Structure 1
Amino acid sequence: MLEHIFVIGGTGNIGTKAVKDLLSNGIKVTLYARNPTKALCLFPDYDALLTIVQGDYSDLMPFYDAIKKGRYTRLLLLVQIDSGNMNAPLLKKQLATAAYEAGVSQVVDISSYAAGDRWRYNFAAEDHWASEKTLMEIPNRSSLVCLRPGRLASNIVDFDIHAIKHLNMYPGSAEPDETMGWISPNDVGTVAGRMLMDDVAKHGDAVYEMIGEVLTPRKTAAVISTVVGREIPYVHMDPIARYTMLTDKAGLPHRIAYALTDLNENGIQVTRALPILLGRKPETLEEYLMAYKDQLM
């Protein structure tokens, strides 16, 4: 049977890479997107392979209708957990249950490294752990692969661009020589795409943690300095000041800002087997940020 993959969350950093890889390998993809125009602009060369279903999370009927009619083989489930206003475990369960009932043989869920850490210690650990558990408990389901990326390299562009550009610093509440586990969104998207193209039986109900590079805040600042071509020091901030910066300047909701301020990754290690999943070496933080050099300058 020819693959036809349904993708939820295909227009963000991770999803875009996964979808491009699928399309470039001749695989039909259907995207569930709030903004079809944006989706089409991201994938302009694949009209014959790409279908857009317009919809959002407030009304899942367009998704339910499409998943029943499309004879889809697999589902990429990328739900951004970004506030306390959304019941992510319930939403993921609704989406995955409908897909399994429609005959999908595999769901690839983008979870978080935090799901395997201390239970409920922050919003990511709570929501992603609960989501994985809820998905695992769906009756009569088929394969479920959970990818657990660490700290996304895109966080620097998304959350700290103001401080880098205008304050000439890389801020944080961690001690300068603590460790942080980074992963490129491109690598997460690459692995997701490969999971969806591999034989389903190869991965079964696998869980894959994804840490591509471990750096201290001081070394992270040195990487940023190399990218922008000027000295960007790491500035260790009081937790309240860091929290305020994340809420006021980056516009993050309380739960995310609090978790990022309190995050402690000391002892985190690189996922040594990650090149097996990628088919190459992981993308470094420097390589990822070079694509956003003009924005960071």
Structure 2
Amino acid sequence: MLDMILVTGATGTIGTEVVRLLAERGERVRAMTRNPAGAHLRAQVVQGDFDDRDSLDSAVAGADAVFLLNAPGPWIERHDLAMLDAVRSHGVRKVVKLSAIGTGEQTELRVGGWHLPGERALHAGEAAWTILRPSSFATNTLHWASMLRAGRPIANLTGNGTQGVIDPRDIAEVAVAALTTPDHAGRTYTLTGPELLSAPDQVEILRKVLDRPIDIVDVPLDVAQQQLIAAGRTPEFAEVAMRGQRHVAEGGNARLTDDVHTVLGRTARTYASWADDHRAAFD
């Protein structure tokens, strides 16, 4: 057992599950969030902001390991480097970073570029490190629920392009294994589900799980980009998002690995299993 594990992004999809799993193992967990008052976690909850160095020093002090997770955006490089500087200053022994599939490989995709400086800083640092590069989250389809409730068809931005859609619970379990054992130091894992799925494939699975008709319609990327901007996203974010959608549509993310099995000793969960466990979210 480590003395203390700091989890950043502790109230998000992955962070919440990592905190829960660590607490169930009996680990001492410190959960960092910008809004501690709204966090209900089995952990010591602390206020932390990647743009406030004093808060990072307070969050990291006394921690033996850090799970480094950032919300997607061009700020990731700045946030990673700030946290890793605090990690270095406080002598943290281990860092597990949540990155993104294809980081450093598809240079035309800025999402991978956002994570690359942090990955390189980990390689150059003294702390033991593990990097997790997950594919598309199964939970990304939760935004379809509002379309279904409104009687609208599912908007498909990626045509028949496939991805190794992964259950976030598997990502969290891999992160916990990397945080709590020495077996994964110096390793970079590309985490995918067990099958390649397109958006139409996922809709067909949901039809069967929910036992209801679901329509799907292709949406041009220029239309989707303008919709993102109208919803309050920056033009840069919208452009990067659409570049990623185009990459998927062209088959650029059609990749499967056995890394979940390598770490956990079992096959990754299927999208159908995830959908069955979350059917209430689509009611």
Q: Please, what TM-score do these two structures have when normalized by structure 2?
A: 0.88
1:238 aligns with 2:243: no
1:190 aligns with 2:173: yes
Residues 157 and 230 from structure 1, CA distance in 2 versus in 1: closer, same or farther, beyond 3 angstroms? same
1:95 aligns with 2:95: no
Following superposition, the deviation at residue 191 of structure 1 comes to 0.6
Q: Is the 8 A contact 1:93 1:135 kept in 2?
A: no
Q: Is the 8 A contact 1:123 1:255 kept in 2?
A: no
Counterpart for residue 111 of structure 1:
99
Q: Is the 8 A contact 2:50 2:83 kept in 1?
A: no
Structure 1: unaligned runs, 5 residues or longer: 44-49
Counterpart for residue 59 of structure 1:
52
Counterpart for residue 197 of structure 2:
215
Residues 261 and 245 from structure 1, CA distance in 2 versus in 1: closer, same or farther, beyond 3 angstroms? farther
Following superposition, the deviation at residue 149 of structure 1 comes to 0.2
Q: Distance in 2 between matches of 1:132 and 1:287?
A: 32
The residue identity in structure 1 corresponding to 2:203 is A
Counterpart for residue 25 of structure 1:
25
The residue identity in structure 1 corresponding to 2:44 is T
The residue identity in structure 2 corresponding to 1:162 is S
Following superposition, the deviation at residue 220 of structure 1 comes to 1.2
Q: Give 1:118-267 correspondences, 5 Å limit.
A: 118-119=106-107, 121-138=108-125, 141-158=126-143, 160-176=144-160, 178-199=161-182, 202-212=183-193, 213-248=195-230, 253-264=237-248, 266=251
Q: Secondary structure at the match of 1:156?
A: helix
Q: Distance in 2 between matches of 1:33 and 1:195?
A: 22
Following superposition, the deviation at residue 130 of structure 1 comes to 2.9
1:35 aligns with 2:22: no
What is the number of residues matched between the two proteins? 278
Question: Percent identical across equivalent pairs?
Answer: 25
Output the aligned Cα RMSD: 2.3
Structure 2: unaligned runs, 5 residues or longer: none
Q: Please, what TM-score do these two structures have when normalized by structure 1?
A: 0.84
Following superposition, the deviation at residue 134 of structure 1 comes to 3.2
Deviates more, 1:50-59 or 1:14-23: 50-59
Q: Distance in 2 between matches of 1:243 and 1:204?
A: 39
